[in-house]
A and B are shown apart, each in its own frame.
Chain A
């Protein structure tokens, strides 16, 4: 099957007014304008297969939203190609709109003053969803997202968690082939987050919906995605398995040692002390050079131990290092 989302050298440059500093500068800006160009997306090439659930991540201002806007058709690329389900989004926005669903964590598409269910009715009319399919989908979502209690409540009175569940149902009612999720779990408590994640996973596996997930919460990505696309400064810097990036770029493990008695400066060859807290010490080691088993044996020979555990780096710490140090610095480090 051909990819459902395909972009080739996608580029977007914004022209903005250059603002001069100070009050006098502001006055000058009012009358004479200079423009400057800002490259939001410089070259994005990607292919996403039908039914995939991909994490699209990157730091603030990396170009994530700009890419998503081009995929939804509300932004015209400066250059490059884009097709979504066989449609060029910006050229046929209406046709593209029927294929996609969108959830923004930060803004709602629900009618603020009306009961939740009325927003759903409105969407039924907008997408011309046949009544029986509408009924079937609505029943399924009310059940999956436990919405029965607040279907008749005006949206402005809903909690954030309830509103998000409503927004998810709203985005899926017309059975979109592709769903874009932008920070869907932002601000939610752990229970609500989990409910949303379970829902996303089920929609993806049971309905085969292609999902592009944009988020800063890497726990979402770890829980849901097999593949991530990392974007930084407008360009894709990694595209592949979550596991691979963890293996390649998460060389360091942390050995957590609980001593029977406090030890001020525990020393182990092949590991570097990170911190000591009471009788617990944390030591970092490179798993390509040192084996955990040897370190544990060493520790048990030198000190009286109560417990030992090994922490794997989570995706968050890996991505944080890539954001700060850049992606390229890692392979070099690995090769030395």
Chain B
């Protein structure tokens, strides 16, 4: 058993170490995040000064929401599966296929290793952010459910990214597609604006989309808009999306692998 897991644990460790060698990038990422936390606080404060609090979301909850969303993005915006495209373009995917490993698991562990570095950085970033803004801390049960929901969100995000990057097996390049999906998902996943702010049909539609499973669900659990009674259903919906995209990723990977072995790397 350990021999089965060992390579992937090692991949994650190596990815962690590799990411840490790009110190400049790591620090700029964290630095710009703290700046964004501050700017969003200013923005929401200004907006709230003009209007009444919408949908029982007071200013401090809104700022909490925005700050936690940004901290989550530190982890979620690392696209581990981007590696697929690099390997396709450089042709090194052939050497990887000659190894006794599962490539999707390799990509997952590599991505997880890279995100782990940023996950570690979330704590100091949070401390810095706390100097600029004040955020609410919910009771432990809520915090625990948030963590669980965030973990599922991470996996949904991974399989979604995996699907998109795997399209490169056919097109070699998916930059335009990814840009579109990123714009759409940033807006529709509730990273920038809570989905509860969208009125009527639009709001219901957005909750029905998979993007909500990435940012919106964990965040709404954190700020308490999803009450403890709704936690179970929220998590189930997330898991369903994970299963759906997981299956899609599996299918795309099977087709991609078949394409390589038939058409050459």
Which A positions have Cβ atoms within 8 angstroms of B?
Answer: 14-15, 66, 69, 72-76, 90, 93-95, 97-98, 100, 102, 104, 107-109, 111, 113-114, 118, 121-122, 125-128, 154
**A75-B264, A90-B261, A107-B90 given as contacts; is B95 within 8 A of A122 (CB)?**
no
Q: How far is the CA of A125 from the CA of B2 in the complex (A)?
A: 10
Q: How far is the CA of A107 from the CA of B98 in the complex (A)?
A: 14
Interface membership of B104, Cβ < 8 A: no
Q: How far is the CA of A114 from the CA of B99 in the complex (A)?
A: 19
**Residues 1-14 of chain B, each 1 if its beta carbon lies under 8 Å from chain A, else 0:** 00100110111001
Q: How far is the CA of A248 from the CA of B51 in the complex (A)?
A: 95
Further contacts, 6 of them, CB under 8 A, given A74-B94, A97-B99, A113-B21 = A69-B264, A73-B97, A95-B100, A100-B98, A122-B10, A154-B21
Chain B residue contacts of A154, Cβ below 8 A: 21
Residue with the highest number of chain B CB atoms closer than 10 Å, among A104, A107, A113: A113
* Chain A interface helix/strand/loop/mixed: mixed
Q: Is the CB of B100 within 8 A of A98?
A: yes
**A113-B21, A118-B14 given as contacts; is B99 within 8 A of A74 (CB)?**
no
Q: Is the CB of B100 within 8 A of A126?
A: yes
Q: Which residue of A lies closest to B22 (CB)?
A: A113
Interface membership of B227, Cβ < 8 A: no
**Across the A-B interface, the 7 shortest Cβ-Cβ residue pairs:** A125-B10, A97-B100, A128-B3, A94-B100, A125-B7, A126-B7, A74-B97
Q: Is the CB of B18 within 8 A of A109?
A: no
Chain B residue contacts of A104, Cβ below 8 A: 95
Q: How far is the CA of A113 from the CA of B19 in the complex (A)?
A: 9
Interface membership of B224, Cβ < 8 A: no
Chain B residue contacts of A108, Cβ below 8 A: 92
Chain A residue contacts of B9, Cβ below 8 A: 125
**Residues 80-113 of chain B, each 1 if its beta carbon lies under 8 Å from chain A, else 0:** 0000000000111011011111000000000000
Chain B residue contacts of A126, Cβ below 8 A: 7, 10, 99-101
Interface membership of B262, Cβ < 8 A: yes
Q: How far is the CA of A292 from the CA of B24 in the complex (A)?
A: 71
Q: Which of B11, B100, B264 is the one whose CB lies under 8 Å from A122?
A: B11
Q: Which of B18, B92, B101, B261 is the one whose CB lies under 8 Å from A75?
A: B261
Chain A residue contacts of B53, Cβ below 8 A: none
Q: How far is the CA of A15 from the CA of B90 in the complex (A)?
A: 22
Q: Is the CB of A125 within 8 A of B21?
A: no
CB distance from B6 to the nearest CB of A (A): 5
Interface membership of B260, Cβ < 8 A: yes
Q: How far is the CA of A74 from the CA of B264 in the complex (A)?
A: 8
Q: Is the CB of A102 within 8 A of B264?
A: no
Q: Interface residues of B toward A: which range?
A: 20 to 34
CB distance from A225 to the nearest CB of B (A): 23
Q: Is the CB of A118 within 8 A of B17?
A: yes
Q: Is the CB of B264 within 8 A of A14?
A: yes
Q: How far is the CA of A72 from the CA of B261 in the complex (A)?
A: 11
Q: Is the CB of B14 within 8 A of A114?
A: yes
Q: Which residue of A lies closest to B3 (CB)?
A: A128
Chain B residue contacts of A66, Cβ below 8 A: 264
Q: Is the CB of A74 within 8 A of B100?
A: no
**A97-B98, A109-B95, A126-B100 given as contacts; is B261 within 8 A of A76 (CB)?**
yes
Q: How far is the CA of A127 from the CA of B262 in the complex (A)?
A: 26
Chain B residue contacts of A121, Cβ below 8 A: 10
Q: How far is the CA of A98 from the CA of B9 in the complex (A)?
A: 19
Interface membership of B32, Cβ < 8 A: no
Q: How far is the CA of A111 from the CA of B7 in the complex (A)?
A: 14
Q: How far is the CA of A113 from the CA of B263 in the complex (A)?
A: 31
Q: Which residue of B lies closest to A90 (CB)?
A: B261
Q: How far is the CA of A122 from the CA of B92 in the complex (A)?
A: 16
Q: How far is the CA of A90 from the CA of B262 in the complex (A)?
A: 10
CB distance from B107 to the nearest CB of A (A): 15
Q: Is the CB of A111 within 8 A of B92?
A: no
Q: Which residue of B lies closest to A115 (CB)?
A: B17
Q: Which residue of B lies closest to A104 (CB)?
A: B95
**A14-B264, A122-B11 given as contacts; is B99 within 8 A of A107 (CB)?**
no
Q: How far is the CA of A143 from the CA of B153 in the complex (A)?
A: 49
Q: Is the CB of B18 within 8 A of A111?
A: yes
Q: Is the CB of B262 within 8 A of A76?
A: yes
Chain B residue contacts of A114, Cβ below 8 A: 14, 17-18, 21
A-contacting residues, B13-58, CB 8 Å? 14, 17-18, 21-22
Q: Is the CB of A69 within 8 A of B17?
A: no
Chain A residue contacts of B92, Cβ below 8 A: 107-109
Q: How far is the CA of A74 from the CA of B97 in the complex (A)?
A: 7
**A107-B90, A125-B7, A128-B6 given as contacts; is B98 within 8 A of A102 (CB)?**
yes
Q: Is the CB of A74 within 8 A of B260?
A: yes
CB distance from A124 to the nearest CB of B (A): 8
Q: How far is the CA of A259 from the CA of B6 in the complex (A)?
A: 72
Q: How far is the CA of A14 from the CA of B6 in the complex (A)?
A: 37
Chain B residue contacts of A75, Cβ below 8 A: 261-262, 264-265
Q: How far is the CA of A94 from the CA of B97 in the complex (A)?
A: 9
Chain B residue contacts of A109, Cβ below 8 A: 92, 95
Question: What are 8 A-to-B residue pairs whose CB atoms are below 8 Å?
Answer: A69-B94, A73-B97, A107-B91, A109-B92, A113-B21, A122-B14, A125-B10, A128-B3
CB distance from B128 to the nearest CB of A (A): 27
CB distance from A239 to the nearest CB of B (A): 24
Chain A residue contacts of B10, Cβ below 8 A: 121-122, 125-126
Q: Which residue of B lies closest to A102 (CB)?
A: B98
Chain A residue contacts of B263, Cβ below 8 A: 14-15
